[in-house]
Amino acid sequence: MESGAVAMNNNSTTISNHNEARATSTITIKGILSLLKENIDGNLDGGSKRVISLGMGDPTLTTLFHTPKVVEDAVADTLHSHKFHGYAPTAGLPQARKAIAEYLSRDLPYQLSSDDVFITSGCTQAIDVSVAMLARPGANILIPRPGFPIYELSAAFRGVEVRHYDLLPEKGWEVDLDGVEARADQNTVALVIINPGNPCGNVYSYHHLEKIAETAKRVGTIVISDEVYGHLAFGGKPFVPMGVFGSIIPVLTLGSLSKRWIVPGWRLGWFVTNDPSGTFREPKVVERIKKYFDLLGGPTTFIQAAVPQIIANTEEIFFNKTIDNLRHTADICCTEIKDIPGIFCPYKPEGSMAMMVKLNLSLLEDISDDIDFCFKLAKEESVIILPGTAVGLKDWLRITFAADPSALREVVQDISFKEAERQGIRLPLEHHHPHLDNNNEPHLPPGFRFHPTDEELITYYLLKKVLDSSFTGRAIVEVDLNKCEPWELPEKAKMGEKEWYFYSLRDRKYPTGLRTNRATEAGYWKATGKDREIYSSKTCSLVGMKKTLVFYRGRAPKGEKSNWVMHEYRLEGKFAYHYLSRSSKDEWVISRVFQKNNTGGGSTVSAAATGGAKKTRMSTSNTSSNMSLCPEPGSPSSIYLPPLLESSPYAVSSSAAAATFNDRESCSFDSAAAAANQREHVSCFSTMSADAAAFNNLVPPPEPPLDPFSRFHRSNVGVSAFPCLRSLHDNLNLPFFFPPVVHGGADVSNFTAVANWPAPEDPRVADGGSGMPIVPSELDCMWGY
C-alpha cells in the first residue's frame, strides 16, 4: 500500500534534477523515491557507496523483520495442494472471508459475518473501491493532512472533490474535529481516518475515536477507516478499531496482511462493512457491493486459500517481537534526531512504521524546501527520505523507522555532520565516534584536540545544556566550582592537558541578589577586566558573554594571586531569554580553566599542586593546529573527525564557526514562516546549532482505561441521517462504470482515453478545499503495488 500521488508544479524533465518532482502531473510516492534513487545512481563512484532508504514503508527491506515460517508454509501448502489454481469468487474465497471476519470480530462488541468482508488486491484496491462506490456529481470527501495520497489520486480520478482537514501535531496528530465540521456539507460522502497513523505514527485513543464517530454522525457522513497498520501500536494507547463505533456511524474498514504479517508483496487486503445497526440494509448496500466486485480481480487464489491457516497458526510471540522491534527503532530515531539543528519531531510515534519531522529552513543554508533537502541528501550522502510534500505537508519529512538500528544511526550521522564536513565546518565532539582505551574511557584519536571556539561553546554546548539540563558533553563534566579548588579540577575533567572544561550552576551569594558566590575553601575567584561580548559570525548578533577570572589564595581582599585563570561563558542577547523561566539559582555556565605561565602558554599541573595525584593524559603535539581530516591515509579513526582549527585559548579569537539557534516555536504549521525574518542560517545539516529537543518531549496525556463494551452504543441509525448513502444506492446499480465528473459540470466529451481532464481550480480552497487541479494521472499506480 506504500504508494500514492501528489500534485507538483514545475515542468522539468531532467531526472537528475530534483525539479522533476515538481512536474505538472501527479507523481506517486514510488515515483518520487525512484527519482531520488536515480539521483544517487548518477553520482555513485563505481557503486561503492551504500544506499540507505528510509522512504518506503516496506518492512521486508530490513533484516530486523521476518515473515513467520508458518505463514510461508501455509501458502506453500495451498499451492502444492493443486486445489487453488483457478479463479476465486470475485468477493473472495468463502473460507478466507470467514477467517477475516472472525479475526476482526475479536476486537468488536458484535460479530461480523463473511458477507461483510470483501477481499481486495491489497489495501490500495480497497481504497479505490471505497471512493469509487461513493462518487457522484458534486460529491466531496474529507481526507487527513498529512495523509496517504492515494486517496487524493483516487478521488481525482473519480471526479470527487478533495477537502483536507488537519491533523494536529501538538495534540499527538489528533483529528481537528472543528475543521471537519467546517469543511463538511450535504455533499460530503465520507470522512477518511488512518489509524494507526501513516505518515505520523500516531494511535487514536478510544475517546478520540468516539468523538470522531459523533462528529461524522452530526455532519451526516460515514467513516472510512484505514487500518492497514492495525495492532502495530507500541506506545501508551492500545489499538482500537473504528468498527467499535459502528452503531453510531456506519464504518468501512480497510486493511491487509501486509504490515502485521510482513508480507506487503502478497497484495492481500480487505474491505469490510461495519454496520451493526443495519443502516446499509435498506438500500441493500452489501448486495450492490457484491455486484461491483464482479468487475474486479482479487488477489492470487492460493494466497487467499492460505488466509485461514495464516491467521490461526501465527503465534502471539511473533507479533510481540515485531512490536518490540518497532518500539526500539522508533526510540532510536527520535533520540538521535533531537540533536540535529533545523529538524525536530513534534511527536514521538506510538504506532505504524513512520514518523513526521519538521524542517526549520531558517537554519538550513541553501535549502529551499523539503524536496530540495531530500534530493541534496540523496545526491551527497546516498540517503533516501520522503519529502513531506508527498504526503501533504511542505517542509516536513516522512521517515520510515522500520529499519535496522545501524542504518537509522548512520542516516542521522549523515544528516548531522557529513554535509557539514563537506562544507569544511567544524563539528562538536558529541557527533563523532568515540575511541575507547583499555578502560572504556572515550578520548580523541592521536593528533586531535578538543579546542572549541567561544561561539561553539555558547551556541552548541551551553545552549543545549540550558535547554536540556540532562544533556552531557563527552568533553565537559558538571562540577560545583565552589567545592573544588582549581588544582583539583584537572582530575575531575573528562579530557584535556592544558585546559579543562566544566558545566556549573552559578551560586548566588544572597538568595534575593544577583551577585555570584565565587569563594572556595582555599580562596576565591576574582573577575578581571571587562566582560567580552561573543557575536554570531554569520549575523553579528550577540549570543553570549565571556568573563575572565583569576584565582586568589586566602580571604578577600588580601588574597594572593595565583596563575589559575577561568573563562566563564554565559548566554546573552538573543539566547538570554532561555533563563527567564528559570530561577536565579538555575543558571548554567561553562567554565574553561587553565594555568597561565610566564611563556604565555598553558602548563601541566604539577604533582605537588595536585597532592601527588596522577592522571593519564593524551600525548602533546607541536604540530600546527590546522590538521587534515585524514592525517594518515590509512588511519581508520581519522575519518570520523573534521579539522579542528583554533588559536591559543589565551589569545583573542577574531573569528568563530557559524552556529545559530532558532527560538522555541509552537508546532503550528505557520509558526516557522511567521518568524522566518528573525532567524539566521547555518550550513545545511550542520550540528553546531542547538535546536535540541524543543518538542521531542511532547507526550500525549494518559488516557482512561479502554472499556469498549461497556460504552458501546446500540442506538438505531436511520438511512435518512446519511445523505452520502445515496451515492452507494445510485452508483451500485448497473451499469457499474460511470464517467468521472469534474467540479463545475464539465462535459463528458472533454475526457480522453488517457484521462486528460480539465483542471479548474477548486473554488473552496479558501474554505479548506484541496485546491489541487485534476490532472493527468499515473494510472498504473492504482494497482501496481
Residue type, 634: G
pLDDT given for residue 691 in this prediction:
40
**Is 80 exceeded by the pLDDT of residue 204?**
yes
Q: Report percent pLDDT > 90 for the chain.
A: 43
pLDDT given for residue 742 in this prediction:
42
Residue type, 536: S
Distance CA 470, CA 479 (A): 14
Instruction: Extract the C-alpha cell encoding 253.
Output: 474498514
**pLDDT, tens digit, for every residue of 611-633?**
344 333 333 333 333 333 333 33
CATH number for the domain running over 5-65+318-422: 3.90.1150.10
Q: What is the mean pLDDT of residues 213-235?
A: 97
What are the residue ranges of CATH 3.90.1150.10 in the chain? 5-65+318-422
Helix 69-80 vs helix 301-313: angle between axes, to the nearest 10 degrees? 140
Dihedral of CA atoms 231, 232, 238, 241 in degrees, nearest 10, equals: -40
Q: What are the helix (H) ranges across 267-315?
A: 285-293, 301-313
Reference 585, options 481, 524, 509; nearest CA is 509
Reference 374, options 35, 27, 26, 9; nearest CA is 35
Q: What stretch of H or E contains 406?
A: helix 405-413
Distance CA 754, CA 698 (A): 47
pLDDT given for residue 2 in this prediction:
56
Residues 6+ positions from 641 with CB-CB distance below 8 Å: 432, 444, 445, 448, 629
pLDDT given for residue 509 in this prediction:
60
Decide: 157 and 135 in contact? Cβ < 8 Å. Answer: no
**Is 50 exceeded by the pLDDT of residue 423?**
no
pLDDT given for residue 169 in this prediction:
94
Q: What is the mean pLDDT of residues 32-49?
A: 66
pTM: 0.58
Distance CA 523, CA 525 (A): 7
pLDDT given for residue 114 in this prediction:
96
Distance CA 683, CA 207 (A): 44
Distance CA 602, CA 497 (A): 9
pLDDT given for residue 73 in this prediction:
97
Q: Is 746 exposed, middle or buried (0-12, 13-18, 19+ CB in 10 A)?
A: middle
Question: Which tops the pLDDT comparison, 592 or 27?
Answer: 592
Residue 75 has, within 13 A of its CA and on its CB side, a CA count of 14
Q: Find the range with the poorest average confidence among 84-98, 467-481, 485-499.
A: 467-481
Question: Which tops the pLDDT comparison, 545 or 336?
Answer: 545
Distance CA 464, CA 431 (A): 14
pLDDT given for residue 721 in this prediction:
61
**Is 90 exceeded by the pLDDT of residue 472?**
no
Distance CA 243, CA 239 (A): 12
**pLDDT, tens digit, for every residue of 116-173?**
999 999 999 999 999 999 999 999 999 999 999 899 999 999 999 999 999 999 999 9
Confidence of residue 78 (pLDDT cuts 50, 70, 90): very high
Q: Report percent pLDDT > 70 for the chain.
A: 64
Decide: 684 and 218 in contact? Cβ < 8 Å. Answer: no
Q: Find the range with the poorest average confidence among 29-38, 244-253, 643-652, 699-708.
A: 643-652
Decide: 225 and 209 in contact? Cβ < 8 Å. Answer: no
**Is 60 exceeded by the pLDDT of residue 603?**
no
Residue type, 442: P
Q: What is the mean pLDDT of residues 504-531?
A: 80
DSSP assignment letter at 780: G
Q: What is the mean pLDDT of residues 713-729?
A: 56
Averaged confidence pLDDT in the chain: 74
Omega prior to 149 cis, within 30 of 0: no
DSSP assignment letter at 519: B
Helix 94-105 vs helix 301-313: angle between axes, to the nearest 10 degrees? 30
Q: What is the DSSP string of 352-400?
A: SSEEEEEE-GGGSTT--SHHHHHHHHHHHH-EE-EEGGGGT-TTEEEEE
Handedness of CA 360, 363, 367, 372 (dihedral sign): negative
Q: Find the range with the poorest average confidence among 330-334, 490-494, 524-528.
A: 490-494
pLDDT given for residue 612 in this prediction:
40
What are the residue ranges of CATH 2.170.150.80 in the chain? 450-602+651-657
Q: What is the mean pLDDT of residues 400-419?
A: 78
Q: What is the DSSP string of 154-200?
A: HHHHHTPEEEEEEEEGGGTSEE-HHHHHHH--TTEEEEEEESS-TTT
What are the residue ranges of CATH 3.40.640.10 in the chain? 100-297+750-755+763-782
Reference 249, options 221, 228, 272, 226; nearest CA is 221
- Name the CATH superfamily for 450-602+651-657: NAC domain (2.170.150.80)
**Is 80 exceeded by the pLDDT of residue 715?**
no
pLDDT given for residue 493 in this prediction:
86
pLDDT given for residue 482 in this prediction:
86
Residue 696 has, within 13 A of its CA and on its CB side, a CA count of 21
Residue with cell 548554567: 588
Confidence of residue 382 (pLDDT cuts 50, 70, 90): confident
pLDDT given for residue 200 in this prediction:
96
Q: What is the mean pLDDT of residues 354-366?
A: 87
Distances (CA, A) of 129 to 120, 295, 537, 596: 9, 11, 58, 78
Omega prior to 642 cis, within 30 of 0: no
Question: Which tops the pLDDT comparison, 717 or 564?
Answer: 564
Distance CA 209, CA 218 (A): 14
Helix 122-134 vs helix 150-158: angle between axes, to the nearest 10 degrees? 40
Q: What are the helix (H) ranges across 601-695?
A: 671-674
pLDDT given for residue 41 in this prediction:
57
Distance CA 403, CA 88 (A): 36
CATH number for the domain running over 100-297+750-755+763-782: 3.40.640.10
Helix 405-413 vs helix 316-337: angle between axes, to the nearest 10 degrees? 10
Instruction: Extract the C-alpha cell encoding 621.
Output: 603535539
Question: Which tops the pLDDT comparison, 44 or 366?
Answer: 366
Q: What is the mean pLDDT of residues 730-754?
A: 41
Any bridge partners for residue 599, and if so which? none
Residue with cell 539521483: 39
For β-strands 140-145 and 188-194, DSSP reports them as: parallel
Question: Which tops the pLDDT comparison, 506 or 566?
Answer: 566
